Structure formats: structure tokens, C-alpha cells
């Protein structure tokens, strides 16, 4: 008897269950498969035939959940997660993934295209990838249950704390903002050209190469430069050699989606490490929970610490301001090092066609109109609704060491948060052999290195959630509760940041249609000026004589150090 995909709404439902049938039922007739909703009668037959619930089960019932739980067969569920809800869930609740997409909260990492074959990922006019459903959104062939479980912005998926607890266990240290960890470091690679060719200390690329050379992986899934002639400048791709991995070094402030590479990983059965921003890593972790093939294929998760994602229009706008019009940008280096300056004084290098021919233009990264990271130009909505600042579900998370003692070195340094104990051995060996020059640091140092990110992602998200609730909008449930308990000036900064992010998409499209950069700048400048005003007010109200003296002392010290470096 085939497994039924749907049943009457009054039946007990165990949705998104992976089963491997053994015993009297042939495994060729019932291979690994997804049973989106299993009626009680079918589940009983599977149980009596020796079926094994491999991964995860949830109860869906229109009656009281506690009553429904009593009907669950015992002994066959490897793990069962039933989220607490105030009210019983009905079938309509399972449409949360659709609601999420309609409200633009979706991460669009590409995982939905893996679990929903009728879905493809496309780059839309605003420069962001979105899921394109080939069938109608109301088509019953689309299973909303599986989409909910792999989407980090769905209320039905496991959150980062649940995943990390399961992945890294209670034998690791824990900090509410950092997550679980085994070791904390700051520093750089001391050998080879890893540091020279990286955005900061070169540790991410060193680790990926080390995993390949140690035969722990067969390749790396990461965002790297596209082939020549591709209008999309960066795409997720698979690198299987040291040279290819090194070509994927450096930060890419550009959108990506992983559907094609994940499909290839499933098909070829090779072992991979994958890199990504927090929400991407979380969604692949969630995908691995419901797809054994992904769990077998993706061996290591290397997380990047990044304030927020950008649309493809960010790179385009950076170039357009300097004469490279949309469609004519050939390549861009967002993080060209400036050895004569501090690490935070990195450069921006763009190559493209101008009215004077193909040119390479280099500017301080802070100079372009859209270059200030705090403004949030071209930011997708989901970036404002994640409370994972430091990539809590990654085996290792890496970011910039934005600390005075490291920023003075223009060659760059990383902070390194090691969560997976098996990777800790690689780092300890690298330090012992002199490949890595890493300092052991404490939790406070990690927090200070990413203070702005922690403020926005952890301490101020409650206000953004409160705003959505006050407006009667659906928004994802997060670990941090909604709250308006934020100082007035900080609330104004949050309001302006969200306005800049939202308005920049539409304002830019209007400017492109008119072929006039100044239209974009003129529409956005009042918002930028408001941001500067409110931030100035915050700084003024927090000044004390001690801080004023410290500020002047810091400027003086930096000038002395810069003079010393130039003299050397």
C-alpha cells in the first residue's frame, strides 16, 4: 500500500517524516522518501512492518496537542520535536512559508528549490534572489510542511539555539550572543599567501585548504567570481582544487543562492565544506535534518560573520557613482587591502567600461555614497530579522578582528570562534606548526570586536519586532522577544535604517530607468542626513569628560602609530 501524502484534517498527522522501511516490506518498493502527512492507519501499518522514523516528527492535530501525543507510536521515533503552541495548529497554519514569502522575510538561500522540485531560484529586478514557483502557489503538489522546516524565518523550524545544542552538545562553553564554542581566537595565517589574498587574516581559506589536503573533504561550496561574460558577478560554485579554493577567497558583498550546488552535492555523493552567512548556514543545517543525503554530503560548515546581505545593486551602485553605468561592471574587489593604513581603511577596486573605455577605479571603501555599512543600503528584509549575529550553527565562525590592537595592522586579522571540537585539533596543530599566529581571547573581546553587529542584531531586534507587531504585520518568531524598551534616539536610528534599506531598492530602480544617478542620490540623501543627525545626537548625549579625553588620546595614538608604520 503506497504512503498517502494527505489525509483527512481530523486524523493525527506526523508531517515531514523520513522513513526507511525494513522487515517484511521491500526497501526497493519503499526507499528513503518524504511522507509529508502520514495518517494514523498508515503509520500503524509501517510500525507493524518494521518501519523506522529516521529523522524528525511533528504532531499536527485539530484537537489538543497533549491528547494527540498519546497516540504517537513508541520505540520507532529516533527523535521527536513538538514545538509548544498556545493553540492547536490546523492545516491553514502550514501555509506559513507562503505568508513569509509574501511578506518578503524569506532568506532565499536556495534550500526550498531542493525540497520543492517545482521551485527555481531567479535573480529579480531589485538584485535579490527569490523562489519562483513554476506552479500556482495554491497548487497542492507543493508541500508547505517541508518548506517550513527548512526555512530559518519560519515559525515551524528549529531555531539556532536548538540546532547548536544538538550539534555541539553541553560539553562546550556558552554565551548568549556568541552561542556555543570550544575556543576563541584572534589573529592571522603566518605562512603562504592566505593572508595577502584574503579580506582579513586569511584563516577561512587556510582552513578550507587544510580540510582538502587532509582528505576530510573532496571540495568546497562557496561564493566565488562567475565565469567571464556572466552578468551575475558572483555565484555559489564547487571548488575541488587548492587553486580554485584560493580563487574563492575574500568577502563578497553580493547575493547568492545554493540550489544548483546542493543538487550537485546530492548527485555526486562527494564530501563538502560549505561557507555562508548565518541564515544560509542555518538553512543548510535545517535541510540536513530532513534530507539524509545532505547530512552525508556536507561535512563541515564554515560560517562568515557579516552585518547583513546586500543585493546585486550594491556593487552596481558603487561603480555607477564613478562612471561605470549599470551593466558595464566587469569585476569588483570589495576588500582590497591598504597596507599603509589600518585594517578598517580598506579600499574598493572596480573594473568596468566607462565613457573613456575600460578602466580600473580604486577608492577608499568608505567614500562612495552607499559605502557606509551602517546605513544599510540595498539590504533585504530578512537581514533585519535574524538574531544570529555570529553564525551560531557553523562548525567555525570567522570575522574581522575590529579591535584597536589588531586594526593597526593593515594586513588584517580574524576573530575565530571554533564550535566543532574536531576542527579545534586542526587549529591547535596549525598554531603548533607556526602556520597560524592566533591569540587566545575571551568572550568580552569577541563581543567588542563585533560591537555594532551585536547592538543591531541582538539588542535592537526587539524594537523591530515590536514595530511589526504594532503595524499588525506577520513576522517570524525570534528567540529575542518584541519590545519597545529601547532609548528614543536608538529607536530613531532603527527607523531610519529600515527606511534607507526599503527605499533604496525602489529609488535605485527609478534612477536606472531614467539613466540618471543623481535621481537616486537626491531621493536618498535626506534619509542619510537624518541618520547622521540622530547618530550625532547619540554621541553627544553619551559624552563624558573621560570619553572626550580618551577620544583625543586615541586619535593622537593612531597618528603616532601610522607615522611609525610609514617610517618603517
- Enumerate the domain spans of the chain: 1-87, 160-302+387-456, 312-374, 459-551
| Average pLDDT taken over every residue of the chain | 82
Q: Which residue has the higher pLDDT, 154 or 278?
A: 278
Integer CA distances (angstroms), 510 to 395, 469, 527, in order: 42, 30, 17
Angle 160-168/278-290 helices, nearest 10 degrees? 70
* Residue 230: per-residue pLDDT: 92
Would you place residue 34 in the very low, low, confident or very high pLDDT band (cuts 50, 70, 90)? very low
**Mean pLDDT value of segment 40-61:** 41
Across 140-154, 195-209, 553-567, least confident range: 553-567
* Residue 373: per-residue pLDDT: 94
pLDDT digit string, tens, across residues 104-141: 899 999 999 999 888 899 999 999 999 887 654 454 44
What's the predicted TM-score (pTM) here? 0.81
pLDDT digit string, tens, across residues 481-533: 999 999 999 999 999 999 999 999 999 999 999 999 999 999 999 999 999 99
Task: Please state the length of the chain.
Answer: 568
Would you place residue 169 in the very low, low, confident or very high pLDDT band (cuts 50, 70, 90)? confident
Across 53-57, 228-232, 400-404, 561-565, least confident range: 53-57
Would you place residue 74 in the very low, low, confident or very high pLDDT band (cuts 50, 70, 90)? very low
* Residue 560: per-residue pLDDT: 54
Alpha helices in 72-175 (DSSP H): 96-102, 112-115, 144-149, 160-168
Does the structure show a pLDDT above 70 at 223? Answer: yes
Residue 376: phi, psi to the nearest 5?
80, 30
Does the structure show a pLDDT above 60 at 548? Answer: no
Three-state DSSP class for 16?
strand
Integer CA distances (angstroms), 523 to 319, 365, 368, 377, 559, in order: 18, 22, 16, 13, 37
Across 6-20, 286-300, 448-462, 521-535, least confident range: 6-20
Would you place residue 556 in the very low, low, confident or very high pLDDT band (cuts 50, 70, 90)? low
Amino acid at each position: 500500500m503506497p504512503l498517502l501524502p494527505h489525509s483527512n484534517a481530523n486524523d493525527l498527522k506526523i508531517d515531514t517524516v523520513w522513513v526507511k522501511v525494513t522487515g517484511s516490506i521491500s526497501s526497493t518498493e519503499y526507499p528513503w522518501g518524504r511522507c509529508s502527512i502520514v495518517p494514523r492507519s498508515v503509520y500503524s501499518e509501517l510500525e507493524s512492518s518494521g518501519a523506522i522514523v529516521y529523522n524528525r516528527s511533528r504532531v499536527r492535530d485539530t484537537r489538543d496537542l497533549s491528547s494527540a501525543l498519546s497516540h504517537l507510536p513508541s520505540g520507532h521515533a529516533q527523535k521527536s520535536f513538538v514545538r509548544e503552541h498556545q493553540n492547536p495548529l490546523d492545516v491553514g497554519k502550514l501555509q506559513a512559508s507562503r505568508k513569509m514569502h509574501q511578506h518578503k522575510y524569506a532568506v532565499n538561500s536556495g534550500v526550498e528549490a531542493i525540497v520543492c522540485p517545482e521551485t527555481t531560484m531567479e535573480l529579480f529586478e531589485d538584485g535579490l534572489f527569490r523562489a519562483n514557483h513554476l506552479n500556482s502557489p495554491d497548487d497542492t503538489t507543493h508541500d508547505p510542511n517541508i518548506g517550513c522546516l527548512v526555512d530559518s524565518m519560519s515559525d515551524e523550524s528549529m531555531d539556532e539555539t536548538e540546532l547548536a545544542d544538538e550539534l555541539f552538545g553541553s560539553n562546550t562553553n556558552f554565551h548568549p550572543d556568541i552561542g556555543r564554542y570550544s575556543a576563541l581566537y584572534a589573529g592571522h595565517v603566518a605562512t603562504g599567501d592566505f593572508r595577502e589574498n584574503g579580506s582579513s587574516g586569511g584563516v577561512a581559506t587556510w582552513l578550507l585548504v587544510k580540510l582538502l589536503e587532509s582528505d576530510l573533504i573532496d571540495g568546497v561550496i562557496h561564493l566565488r567570481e562567475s565565469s567571464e561574460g556572466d552578468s551575475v558577478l558572483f555565484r555559489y560554485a564547487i571548488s575541488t582544487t587548492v587553486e580554485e579554493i584560493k580563487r574563492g577567497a575574500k568577502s563578497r558583498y553580493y547575493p547568492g543562492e545554493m540550489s544548483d550546488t546542493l543538487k550537485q552535492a546530492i548527485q555526486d555523493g562527494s564530501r563538502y565544506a560549505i561557507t555562508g552567512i548565518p541564515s544560509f548556514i542555518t538553512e543548510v543545517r535545517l535541510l540536513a535534518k530532513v534530507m539524509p543525503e545532505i547530512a552525508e554530503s556536507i561535512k563541515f560548515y564554515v560560517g562568515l560573520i557579516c552585518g547583513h546581505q546586500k543585493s546585486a545593486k550594491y556593487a552596481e551602485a558603487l561603480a555607477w557613482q564613478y562612471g561605470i553605468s549599470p551593466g558595464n561592471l566587469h569585476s569588483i574587489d570589495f576588500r582590497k587591502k591598504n597596507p599603509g593604513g589600518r585594517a578598517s581603511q580598506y579600499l574598493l577596486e572596480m573594473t568596468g567600461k566607462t565613457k573613456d573605455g575600460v578602466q580600473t577605479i580604486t577608492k577608499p571603501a568608505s567614500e562612495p555614497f552607499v559605502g557606509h555599512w551602517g546605513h544599510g543600503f540595498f539590504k533585504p528584509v530578512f537581514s533585519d530579522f535574524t538574531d544570529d549575529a555570529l553564525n551560531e550553527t557553523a562548525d567555525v565562525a570567522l570575522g574581522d578582528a575590529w579591535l584597536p590592537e589588531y586594526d593597526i595592522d593593515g594586513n588584517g586579522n580574524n576573530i575565530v570562534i571554533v564550535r566543532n571540537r574536531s576542527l579545534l585539533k586542526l587549529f591547535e596543530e596549525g598554531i603548533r606548526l607556526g602556520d597560524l599566529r592566533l591569540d587566545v581571547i575571551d568572550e568580552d573581546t569577541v563581543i567588542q570586536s563585533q560591537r555594532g553587529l551585536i547592538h543591531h542584531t541582538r539588542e535592537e531586534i526587539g524594537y523591530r519586532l515590536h514595530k511589526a507587531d504594532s503595524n499588525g504585520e506577520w513576522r517570524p518568531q525570534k528567540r529575542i522577544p518584541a519590545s519597545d524598551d529601547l532609548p528614543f534616539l536608538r529607536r530613531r536610528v532603527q527607523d531610519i535604517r529600515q527606511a534607507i534599506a526599503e527605499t533604496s531598492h525602489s529609488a535605485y530602480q527609478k534612477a536606472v530607468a531614467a539613466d540618471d544617478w543623481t535621481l537616486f542620490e537626491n531621493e536618498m540623501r535626506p534619509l542619510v542626513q537624518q541618520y547622521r543627525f540622530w547618530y550625532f545626537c547619540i554621541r553627544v548625549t553619551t559624552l563624558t569628560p573621560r570619553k572626550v579625553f580618551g577620544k583625543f588620546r586615541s586619535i593622537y595614538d593612531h597618528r603616532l602609530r601610522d607615522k611609525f608604520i610609514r617610517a618603517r
